[in-house]
């Protein structure tokens, strides 16, 4: 009887976990270009300080990423939430300042509290500079705004 109860609990937990990740919802809200997140950059590579374009495709909960190496892919598979970009890959500054989805320059980034944050950059503007001036405030607002968007 105990084995049957444990099996039921494990099956129920697995079904609940799958329901918590809705691939259609993620695809709706994540920044995807040509079917791939982060403009094809390897999400793990950011954490070694050198963003690299990926060549090995892998889809996690509806979002396709590319990886520069099989080792990076395996690292990602062990803990996808650690490596996926904050705010669905949209500009962290714009998410914090206005609650808006703004495209990014995938080479303009900052790791904040262990999370990959991406930023818009053009010839005349670099939102990472603005973010750095008020990071604590903007991070809190971005988290709140993302929760409102990602429903």
117's tokens: 């944050």
pLDDT digits (tens, 9 = 90+) for 34-73: 899 999 999 999 999 999 999 999 999 999 999 999 999 9
Q: What pLDDT is recorded for position 14?
A: 34
- Rounded-to-integer distance, Cα 103 and Cα 89, Å: 8
Q: What pLDDT is recorded for position 63?
A: 95
**pLDDT at residue 1 greater than cutoff 80:** no
Instruction: Quote the pTM value.
Output: 0.84
Q: What pLDDT is recorded for position 24?
A: 82
Cβ neighbours, 10 Å, residue 43: 25
Q: What pLDDT is recorded for position 21?
A: 64
- Rounded-to-integer distance, Cα 147 and Cα 45, Å: 26
- Rounded-to-integer distance, Cα 100 and Cα 49, Å: 27
Q: What pLDDT is recorded for position 64?
A: 97
3-state secondary structure of 79: coil
Q: What pLDDT is recorded for position 68?
A: 98
**pLDDT at residue 100 greater than cutoff 90:** yes
């Amino acid at each position: 009887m105990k084995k049957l109860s444990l099996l039921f609990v494990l099956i129920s937990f697995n079904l609940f976990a799958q329901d918590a990740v809705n691939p259609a919802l993620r695809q709706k809200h994540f920044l995807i270009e040509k079917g791939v997140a982060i403009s094809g950059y390897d999400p793990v590579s950011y954490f070694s300080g050198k963003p690299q374009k990926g060549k090995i495709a892998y889809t996690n909960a509806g979002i396709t990423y590319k990886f520069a190496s099989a080792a990076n892919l395996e690292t990602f598979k062990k803990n996808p939430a650690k490596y996926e970009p904050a705010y669905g890959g949209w500009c962290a500054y714009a998410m914090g300042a206005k609650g808006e989805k703004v495209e990014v320059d995938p080479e303009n980034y900052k790791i904040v509290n262990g999370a990959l944050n991406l930023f818009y950059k053009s010839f005349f503007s670099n939102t990472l500079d603005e973010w750095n001036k008020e990071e604590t405030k903007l991070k809190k607002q971005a988290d709140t705004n993302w929760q409102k968007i990602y429903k």
